[in-house]
Amino acid sequence: MGKPPKTEWDNACTQVGACALTGAVGFFAGIPDAAVVVNGPLWCSFYARRHLERQCPSLAERFFCSQADNEAVVYGTEACLTETLRLVRTQCVPAVLLIINNCSVGLIGDDLAGIARQADLPCPAICMDGGGLIGGFWDGYRAAAKAYFSQMPLAKRTLIEPGSVNLLGMSVGYYNAENDRRELQRILALAGYRTLTCPGADNTVRELTDLSRAELNVVVHEELGGELARQLKADYDMPYVSLLPPYGIKDTLSWVNLIGARLQSRPCPVTDLLRQEAERRHREVRTAVADMERIWGDLWFEQAVVAAPGSVAMGLARALRREWADIGALTVVAHDALPAITLPQQADRILDGTGDSKAIQECLSNLAGGLLLGSGSEMAFLRQHRVTGTVCRNIALPVYDEIILDGWPFMGLRGATRWLENLLNGFAAERRKGE
Amino acid sequence: MIANSCVAGVIGDDTEAVAKEAEEKWRLPILAVPCHSFLDGDFHAGFYHAAKALADRFMKPLSRQKIRQDNQAALLGERGGPASRDLVEMQRLCRYFGFEKFCLFPAYASIREMKRIPESAVSIPLSGTPQGFPWTKKLASELQESFGVPWLEHDYPVCWTRTQNWLESLGDLLGKRQAARTAIHEQTVELNEQLEQLTPCLQQKRIAFCIGRSRLLFDPAWVFELIELSGVQLAAVVLLSDSLTPKQQAELQQDLPSQTTAPVLLSNEADEIMASVDFVISTHELTDTTLRQLFLPFLPLVGVRGLTNILELMARLARRQGNRGGIIYG
């Protein structure tokens, strides 16, 4: 064996992207009384489960796999799927069941709905194809949301609750999403608004039937929830607004204002409570931040890259430059391609994560001493290419080197405080290493 | 190397023809593996086919100018890369027989290194599961047939009995029985030192051994030996019903009594015992967070140092204070 094997092989590539099967499972994972059957091999189901399980620990109890094998692909999956549906019936009582083919089983054209009908299930079954042939995580989530609301009827939109909203496009498949959802609901409550539902991120099947009673749909992540908002507008005439998610104090207040502007029943949202909390948080951190900057220098990065699903990357980039740090050149990488919303002027360069890989690699290669807000994939690239002195923070899955247990969100007012803490601590740690 | 997904298998792409055409066009070696994800077997099947394609293309029988390297061994299989603790331990054991150079194959090897495989004095399979060993054996025997490299018909050294057997078998194959005896003696001394240091805190501890893997994926013999060496008392073997089919459970219920005198129970019969043991050794993560669990690695660790590693983890669990549960990953 030639030298030097260790350094040559220790940097195995860890680029990971989730396929549509994971996205579809992600939507149903966010419905606590939904169960999921992956009709395919164990590998596909394990990948989806592992991607989502840390964010959604209950998934394991309502997640099944038919373990289709070669024979099933030749003769059909009816036998193994029927056996799995029998297992579902004995192990849980779901309110809705997703049956999803992996990509190769999808090609053989089994009649999933027919097999489900024969299985005498205690709940509606939503059947669809998944996998890489459909696309990435976002495509799967959108397809699953569409399939769910096409098949599961909502209450008629006769009684509208004033000052109520739904948050669309949130998912346990996004990093720290559960904490963000709670923070957004808290902020909205401070503003006097009620969050009725967050489809695919919290509510049961029964709760979701009330979705149509909300006055307004608020799209938090356009790449996940934009299409659903348009579908609900077409089917139920529900108005919607699609905004970048609110990171930082200014953007949070602005987010609430923009929602208020669309809510005819209560148009003046920034209440004293909200304003007071914003001011208090600003006041409380001011001295500590100034002290840190006095010791370690001001929070300045010559280069910064923000890489995440489009809405997350755009929203964080905006708050980063407007509120938290000074940046020489700021590049935004949208993992899922560019979202169909107004792009913030704060980014100097916006790259498409699905197509600009060479440009992204160049950007990351030049990030020594800079700032990376990204996922484990970008961080693995920095390690592999020995790019040093970079302050790195996780904002998107996959994440390998961090857990968040204390409930802190990334979004909203609480998130703003956390980000300042996060960036200053990372900045000081890198400076100390360089001494 | 073109690896086919199951999609390519279902639609019936002739990937080998595509590879051949592309090779002619670009004048680069382009290979295709004749299997398609889960449609044609498991990980080990794909691993074998990839290795076979590489060997057929890049390895040549020894020419007259080249001589076999007595100090070079080929390690066939994958154990986490050349710096992994298993590979380091495997190489340490091989050094008793005068091996100084090691060729990994097929993973973690450059084309130049692959070409050196036929010069090896021996090839040694690394698999670690009843499911994987036949594929690694097949590869080793074909390398012998094509290039004359003798191979050790023994899966890798696990726990103590199999480590001794492995050392003896390698000594027999190479005609170096004295080296094997020296190795066994020194490893015995090392093992005894470790047992003396690690096992006092394990005496009198009661444990359960939870199995959720079928016979094809998991041979529990090394765990029973580990339990015996450690001095803990095995209260029961528990078959994890959620992870085993009824057929797999029946097979294990039939086999296990020949390996242990402890009762073999199904999960739903084991609540009382599970609540009373000091800790459990398990092939699966158990959801009961009050239990102290040692999660067994999917592939058993190599040699005396692998055994010591697991004993250290058992000792940590045994010495855990208070009633804190949780999992230690082996």
The mean of the pLDDT values for chain B is: 94
Q: Mean of the pLDDT values across residues A297-310?
A: 94
Q: Which residue of B has its CA nearest to A40?
A: B38
- Domain containing residue B176: CATH number: 3.40.50.1980
Give the CATH class of A280-434: alpha beta
Q: What is the pLDDT of residues B290-305, one digit of tens each?
A: 999 999 998 899 999 9
Q: What is the pLDDT of residues A153-177, one digit of tens each?
A: 898 898 999 999 999 999 999 999 9
Q: What is the pLDDT of residues A393-406, one digit of tens each?
A: 999 999 999 999 98
Whether B104 and chain A come into contact, CB under 8 Å, resolves to yes
Let me know if residue B182 belongs to a domain: yes
Q: Which residue of B has its CA nearest to A70?
A: B39
Residues B168 and B207 in one domain: no
Q: Hey, of A1, A63, A83, which one would you mutate to test binding to chain B, going by the most B CBs within 10 A of its CB?
A: A1
Domain span including residue B83: 69-191
Instruction: Please count the structural domains in chain B.
Output: 3
Contacts of B268 in chain A (CB under 8 A): none
Q: Mean of the pLDDT values across residues B66-87?
A: 91
Res. A1: pLDDT tops 50: no
Res. A344: pLDDT tops 80: no
Q: B168, B191, B214 — which closes off a domain?
A: B191
Cβ contact A1–B113 (<8 Å): yes
Q: What is the pLDDT of residues B206-264, one digit of tens each?
A: 999 999 999 888 999 999 999 999 999 999 999 998 889 889 999 999 999 999 999 99
Structure confidence at residue A340 (pLDDT) = 63
The mean of the pLDDT values for chain A is: 90
Residues B75 and B185 in one domain: yes
Separation of CA A192 from chain center? 26
Q: What is the pLDDT of residues B101-160, one digit of tens each?
A: 999 999 899 999 999 999 999 999 998 888 899 999 999 999 999 999 999 999 889 999
Contacts of B9 in chain A (CB under 8 A): 73, 104
By residue count, chain B amounts to 330
Q: What is the pLDDT of residues B169-213, one digit of tens each?
A: 999 999 999 999 999 999 999 999 999 999 999 998 999 999 999
> ipTM for the complex?
0.78
Give the CATH class of A20-151: alpha beta
Whether B261 and chain A come into contact, CB under 8 Å, resolves to no
Res. A271: pLDDT tops 90: no
Q: B131, B166, B191 — which closes off a domain?
A: B191
Q: Which residue of A has its CA nearest to B102?
A: A1
Structure confidence at residue A3 (pLDDT) = 42
What confidence tier does B4 reach under pLDDT thresholds 50, 70, 90?
very high
Q: Mean of the pLDDT values across residues A4-33?
A: 72
Whether B111 and chain A come into contact, CB under 8 Å, resolves to no
How far B318 CA sits from the closest chain A CA (Å)? 27
Res. A6: pLDDT tops 50: no
Residues B184 and B214 in one domain: no
The ranges assigned to domains in chain A are: 20-151, 161-274, 280-434
Contacts of A103 in chain B (CB under 8 A): 5-7
Q: A161-274 and A280-434 share one CATH topology?
A: yes
Whether B7 and chain A come into contact, CB under 8 Å, resolves to yes
Residue A266: both structure tokens together: 């209560």
Separation of CA A64 from chain center? 23
B301 secondary structure, DSSP code:
P
Q: What are phi and psi of A272, to 5 degrees?
A: -60, -40
Residues B79 and B114 in one domain: yes
Residues B92 and B161 in one domain: yes
Let me know if residue B277 belongs to a domain: yes
With residue A324 as reference, give the H or E element that holds it: none
Residues B229 and B297 in one domain: yes
Let me know if residue B64 belongs to a domain: no
Let me know if residue B166 belongs to a domain: yes
Structure confidence at residue A9 (pLDDT) = 42
Whether B62 and chain A come into contact, CB under 8 Å, resolves to no
- B113: which residues sit within 8 A by CB, 6+ positions away? A1, A2, B103, B104, B105
Q: B191, B212, B231 — which closes off a domain?
A: B191
Residues B168 and B205 in one domain: no
Per cent of chain A over pLDDT 70 is 94
Structure confidence at residue A343 (pLDDT) = 62
Superfamily the domain A161-274 falls into: Nitrogenase molybdenum iron protein domain (3.40.50.1980)
Q: How far is CA B186 from CA A209, B93, B167, B193, in A?
A: 71, 11, 12, 11
Let me know if residue B89 belongs to a domain: yes
Whether A429 and chain B come into contact, CB under 8 Å, resolves to no
